Structures are given as structure tokens and as C-alpha cells.
């Protein structure tokens, strides 16, 4: 009996040590690779922005910082964030920055294009991309995603150029100002709809939700309202 207890103790000790070593290795690897992963994500984001600008045939925009609540320009980003309540978090973000980064292309002081970073939860991952608006601040010039981990052959098709091209010339809001842009199931029937992807209904719903959030009062809504006032 004593030998059996000793044997069981040794087995448990070995198992504990193996688990401990594995956890240390995993933690070390995660910490070590994080800077590299962050750098890769930054490169992918920058490359995506440059590519969409080249596709539109325009130069590099100027970067601006804006207060999310007021829409006013600010000089620095304190890095603060605000949690989103369930009633406001339609994009599944959990939190949002209090100072947002936007990109503007202007001619003689007047807006030509506005590039907005957007993100939101899809079916199984966080979707991140850029949305480009025409000078009327309602017509979409382009949409591109640079980060996603959706189902291959289904939701992951939001990365395909053919699908992203469907967003060009779509209208965000109707004449009353109501946000109407959305991904629909099947084929689009008007300027506020984009064709859905077969088998990717929940990914499409995620894209629709992130659009509603970022164009709303808790996203870029106040900023875009300021630009419209300035344009007269």
C-alpha cells in the first residue's frame, strides 16, 4: 500500500511539473511574440490603407485626432477609453477610444475624402478595416478589411476585392439622416444595401453592426456632423 501511495505521488508530481513547464513555455512564447505580432498587424494595417489609396488614385492623407464625443479636433491623445454599455455596444467592442484617429484629404481646405478606421465583432473574430467617404460624407468610396479570422470560404470572403468593390457608391444614410447602410441576405436592392455572402450571414450582420456603430453618436457621428457644418 505504501509503495502504491508513493507511486501515485510521483505520478502526480511529474504531471504537475509537466503542466507547470508547459504553462511557463506558453506564457514566455506569448510575451516574446507579442511585439512581433503587433508589428505585423501594424504593417498589415498600413499596407491596407496605402493599397486603397492607390486604388482610388489619391495621395497620402493628413492624420487628425478628434474628440469622439464632441467631434472637435484635439492636439494629443491621452490614450483614455470608455466602456460601452450593452445598449450602445452594437458592434461588440466592449470599449472605445475617447480620441479617434481619422485621415483627411483636402483641396484648398475643403474635404475631398475622409478615411475612417472601423472595427467590430463578426461571427468568430474582430474585424478591422478602413472606410473611405466621398466629400459629401455620405457616399462610400471604398471599404477594405485588413484583419479578420472568419470561416474560410465563407465569412473570410470579406477580404475579397470583388466583395469589397460592391461598397463603392453606396449611401450610408437616407435623406432623413437615418443610417441605412447594411449587408443583406442575397442581392442588394437599393443604394443602402450590399450583397450578402452565401453562408456568412452572421459575418455580414457584424459588418452591418459596425457600420451602424461608427456612423452613430458613439462613433464618428459627431465628427462627421462637424465637417458637414463647416462645409456649409
Give me the pLDDT at residue 9, please. Answer: 57
Q: Any idea what the Cα angle at residue 102 is, between residues 99 and 108, rounded to 5°?
A: 130
Give me the pLDDT at residue 52, please. Answer: 87
Beta-bridged to residue 105, according to DSSP, are: 113
Give me the pLDDT at residue 32, please. Answer: 58
* Prediction pTM value: 0.81
Q: Do 209 and 91 touch, CB atoms closer than 8 A?
A: yes
CA dihedral 81, 83, 87, 89 (to 10 degrees): 60
Give me the pLDDT at residue 79, please. Answer: 94
Tens-level pLDDT at each residue, the chain (232 residues): 555 455 655 665 666 666 656 665 556 555 554 444 444 444 667 788 888 889 899 988 999 999 999 999 999 999 999 999 999 999 999 999 999 999 999 999 999 999 999 999 999 999 999 999 999 999 999 999 999 999 999 999 999 999 999 999 999 999 999 999 999 999 999 999 999 999 999 999 999 999 999 999 999 999 999 999 998 7
Give me the pLDDT at residue 39, please. Answer: 43
Amino acid at each position: 500500500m505504501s509503495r502504491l501511495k508513493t507511486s501515485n505521488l510521483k505520478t502526480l508530481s511529474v504531471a504537475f511539473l509537466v503542466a507547470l513547464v508547459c504553462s511557463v513555455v506558453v506564457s514566455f512564447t506569448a510575451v516574446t511574440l507579442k511585439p512581433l505580432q503587433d508589428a505585423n498587424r501594424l504593417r498589415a494595417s498600413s499596407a491596407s490603407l496605402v493599397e486603397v489609396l492607390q486604388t482610388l488614385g489619391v495621395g497620402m492623407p493628413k492624420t487628425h485626432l478628434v474628440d469622439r464625443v464632441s467631434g472637435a479636433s484635439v492636439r494629443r491623445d491621452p490614450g483614455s477609453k470608455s466602456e460601452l454599455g450593452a445598449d450602445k455596444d452594437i458592434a461588440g467592442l466592449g470599449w472605445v477610444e475617447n480620441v479617434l484617429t481619422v485621415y483627411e484629404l483636402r483641396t484648398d481646405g475643403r474635404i475631398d475624402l475622409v478615411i475612417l478606421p472601423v472595427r467590430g465583432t463578426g461571427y468568430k473574430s474582430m474585424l478591422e478595416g478602413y472606410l473611405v467617404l466621398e466629400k459629401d460624407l455620405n457616399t462610400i468610396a471604398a471599404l477594405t478589411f485588413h484583419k479578420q479570422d472568419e470561416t474560410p470560404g465563407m465569412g473570410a470572403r470579406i477580404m475579397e476585392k470583388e466583395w469589397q468593390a460592391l461598397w463603392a457608391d453606396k449611401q450610408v444614410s437616407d435623406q432623413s439622416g437615418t443610417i441605412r447602410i447594411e449587408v443583406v441576405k442575397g442581392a442588394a436592392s437599393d443604394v443602402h444595401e450590399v450583397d450578402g455572402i452565401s453562408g456568412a450571414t452572421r459575418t455580414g450582420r457584424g459588418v452591418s453592426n459596425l457600420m451602424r456603430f461608427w456612423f452613430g453618436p458613439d462613433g464618428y457621428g459627431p465628427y462627421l456632423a462637424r465637417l458637414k457644418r463647416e462645409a456649409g
